[in-house]
Amino acid sequence: MVFNKKGDAYIFDPGNSTPAEDQFLFNYIENNNLTPIALINTHCHIDHILGNKAVLEKYDIPFWAPNGEQMVLESGKVSASMYGIPYQTSPQPNKWIETDHTMGLDGEEWILLSSPGHSPASMVFYLPSAGFAIAGDVLFRESIGRTDLPGGNHETLLRNIQEKLYTLPDDTIIYPGHGPETTIGHEKRNNPFVREI
Question: 105-131 pLDDT, tens per residue?
Answer: 888 899 999 999 999 999 999 999 999
Instruction: State how far the Cα of 197 lies from the Cα of 192, in Å rounded to an integer.
Output: 13
Which distant-in-sequence residues (6+ apart) come within 8 Å of 147 by Cβ?
Answer: 117, 118, 153, 154, 157
- Is domain 109-197 classified as CATH 3.40.50.300? no
Per-residue pLDDT at 76 exceeds 90: yes
pTM of the model: 0.96
Calculate the alpha carbon distances from 137 to 24, 42, 117, 165 in Å.
23, 8, 10, 13
What would the pLDDT profile of 144-175 be if each residue is shown by its tens digit? 999 999 899 999 999 999 999 999 999 999 99
CATH code of the domain made up of 1-102: 3.60.15.10
The pLDDT of residue 197 is above 80: no
* CA geometry: angle 52, 55, 59, nearest 5 deg: 140
Where along the chain do its domains lie?
1-102, 109-197
Which DSSP string do the residues of 133-197 spell out, in sequence order?
Answer: EEEETSEETTEE----STT--HHHHHHHIIIIITTS-TT-EEEESSS--EEHHHHHHH-SS----
Distance CA 101, CA 64 (A): 10
User: What are the pLDDT digits (tens) for 28-64?
Assistant: 999 999 999 999 999 999 999 999 999 999 999 999 9
Give percent of the chain with pLDDT exceeding 90: 95
In angstroms, the CA 160 to CA 119 distance is 12
Matching CATH topology for 1-102 and 109-197? yes
Average pLDDT on 165-193 reads 97
As a whole number, the mean pLDDT across the chain is 96
Q: According to the model, what pLDDT value does residue 145 have? A: 97
